[in-house]
Structure 1
Amino acid sequence: MDAITSLLSKLYLFYFDSPTVTSYRASIEVVSKSLRIFSGENVQLKCVIPDIYFSTWKYLWFKDSMQLPQTEETLRISHAHVKSSGKFSCQGKRETAIGDIQTRPSLPVEVSVDGGWVILQTPPHPVVVGETLNMVCRLRKKFPIHETILYKNGVEVMRQNGSSLDLQVENVDLEDEGMYSCRASWDMEMRTYSVISAATPVKVVEFLSQPVLEIDAENNQIGVNKIKLICHVQYNARAPAPPINFYFYKNDHLLGTATSENHKVVRRDSGWYSCRAKVPQLGLFRWSEARSFGEVTGE
C-alpha cells in the first residue's frame, strides 16, 4: 500500500510540476531597425504569442539557451557591447488550475554588436525570390563618403560613387544568397580612409517551395482502413498573403476537391501519391514528387 501511495504521489508531482507545452509557437518581432548594430546602441525584441483567447502570459527570454532575468513582452538591450551579441529566443508561460502551461520556444534571432567603424545592415528576415534586397553600409560617424563597394562571398558585386550608403540588389534569385560585406571610403585631412565591414549572411527563399508529401499510415485516430496525406510546403508570401490551396492525387487522379488544409485522410490503398500546392490569385503552383504506398508496380 505504501508503495502504491508513493507512486501516486510521484505521478501527482510529475503532472503538476512539469509544465504542459501547448501547440502555440512563440515568435520574435524585431522592433528596432536592425539586428546588426554598433556597440553603445540599443536593440528591442518583442515576444509574440498567437493566442486568440488573449490569455495573460509571462515571457521567458533566453540568450544562447541561457535564461535571462527579463520576463516582460519586450526585451530591451540598451548600450549594447560586443558581448551582448548572441542568439535570442523567447517562450510564453502562464499558470492555470492544472499547473503551468508553456508555448513552444520561438526560433532564435541573432543579434550582432560590432565594435568597429562600418557595418552592413541587411534585412532581419529572409528575402523572397523576385524581391529587392535592401542593405545599408552604415558608418559609426557621418564621414563624407565618396565610394561604397559591396562584396558577396569576398567578390566585388557593386561599386557606387557619392555619399549614398544605400545598396540594392533588384529581383533577387537563389544565387544571390551568401555572405555580404561592404567597404566605405572617405577623405579627411588630406588622407583617404577605407574600412570594410564584417560579413553578414543574406538568406534567399522561394515564394513557394517544392512540396514534400508525407504518408502517415500509423495514425490510430484515422482508422485502420485509412491513411493521412500531408503536403509540406514553405509559403513565404508577405502579409496579407493570398490563400493557398492543396490538391491530393493517387496515380495522377485527383482525390476529392481542393482544400485549404495541407492534409487529407483517404482510403488505405496501394498506389503512387502526390500533392500540388497552388496560389490561385497568382496562378502559381508546385508539385511534389510522387511517393509509393503499398505494393505498386513501376518502382
Structure 2
Amino acid sequence: MRGNEANRVISVSQGGLYHCRGGRGDPVYYTEDSSDVTVKETLPSKPTVSLQPSWTQIYSGETVTVRCEIQGGEGAQWTYEWRAAKLNTPPTSNEYRIIRATESDSGGYSCRGRRDYFFSEWSDIITLTVSYKPKAKLRADNTAVPVGGSVTLTCSVNPSSSSSGWKYYWYRDNVTVDVVSPSNGQISVSQEGLYRCRGGRGNPVYYTEDSQEVQINKTGEFVFSNNVE
C-alpha cells in the first residue's frame, strides 16, 4: 500500500491485516516482514430496516420499497446483505422494490452492512404482511334525502387501521362525483342516484375493489333507515 516511506509512522483509516518491512541501500536491502497487526474499524450502530410507504400491512398488487439505513455510515462504500422472506437473488444495495407484491412476500426482513471484510450487526426484523386485495365498504346514514337536506355516506377500507393512508373516490351513476373525499371517508350528498366508492393509496395509486352500490332517493319527508352495509 505504501513504499519508500522515510517516516516509519503512518495513519490508516481502513480495517485490515497490516505488516511492514524496512529497506535501505541501492539496490534496496529488505528486512523480513514484521508480524501482522489486525486493525478493526469501529462500525456504526446496527442498521434499521424501513418501508416506503411505511405500511407493514399491504395488499396483493401493491409496490413497496424496503430500505436498509446505517446511521453514521454516510459516505462509506457499503455493500448490504439481506435476510428476507423471498429473495431469489438478494441485492447488495441498501434498498430494493417489491413490485406487485404477493402473499409469498410476507415475512420478516433484516439487513446488515459490509465494508471490506467487516460487518455491522444484523438489523432488527421488520415484518411485512401481504393480504388479498380489499373491497371498500359503503355505509349510508339514510337512503332518503329530506327536502333541502342531505345524507352522509361513509366509505372505509380496513377501518381498524386508521393510519393506512387511504383516500376515497366516489361515483354516482358511474360518474365521478368526488375525486378524493376527506380522510374520514365521509361525504354529504343531496342528489339521488346510485352511489359507490373505492379506496386508493400510494404513488402510483393502488385501488381497492369497488364497494357495493347504494341507491339514494329524494323524499318529501325525513325517513330514517338502518345503516346499509
Query: Quick check: TM above 0.5?
Result: no
TM-score normalised over the length of structure 1: 0.35
Q: Which structure is higher in helix share?
A: 1
With a CA cutoff of 8 Å and minimum separation of 6, indicate the structure with the bigger relative contact order.
2
Question: How does the TM-score come out when normalised to structure 2?
Answer: 0.44
Rg (Cα) greater in structure:
2
